[in-house]
Amino acid sequence: MSGYITPITLLEITAGLLFLSGRFVPLGITLATPIIVNMVLYHIVFDIAHLPLALGMATCIVALVYQHWGLFSQFLQAKHPSAQAS
């Protein structure tokens, strides 16, 4: 065993608890998104039969990002050079 699954499982459980708490959903999205992207890519390349499940999870994450877009849009805005502290 490579030990790869243990930290991924811990991240999945942590993200799930954050979703269930309702207070830290954006942090849960941030933790879960790379895992779900990895799942989708894995199923595209190696196991196309289970791709619909991975795409369903990706759809749920996209819906959550859309719902919390106001918090994530700040990361995509360029800062004006004069706004940086000297």
Q: What is the pLDDT of residues 36-62, one digit of tens each?
A: 999 999 999 999 999 999 999 999 999
pLDDT at residue 48, as a whole number = 95
pLDDT at residue 85, as a whole number = 57
CA atoms within 13 A on the CB side of 66: 6
pLDDT at residue 76, as a whole number = 77
Query: DSSP H helical segments within the chain, as ranges?
Result: 5-21, 25-45, 51-67, 69-72
Q: Is the pLDDT of residue 3 over 90?
A: no
**What's the mean pLDDT in 19-40?**
94
**CA–CA–CA angle 8, 77, 70 (5° rounding):** 65
Tell me the C-alpha distance between 30 and 25, whole Å. 9
pTM exceeds 0.85: no
> Higher-confidence residue: 1 or 26?
26
Q: Which residue has tokens 């819906």?
A: 63
| Dihedral sign, Cα of residue 6, residue 64, residue 50, residue 46 | negative
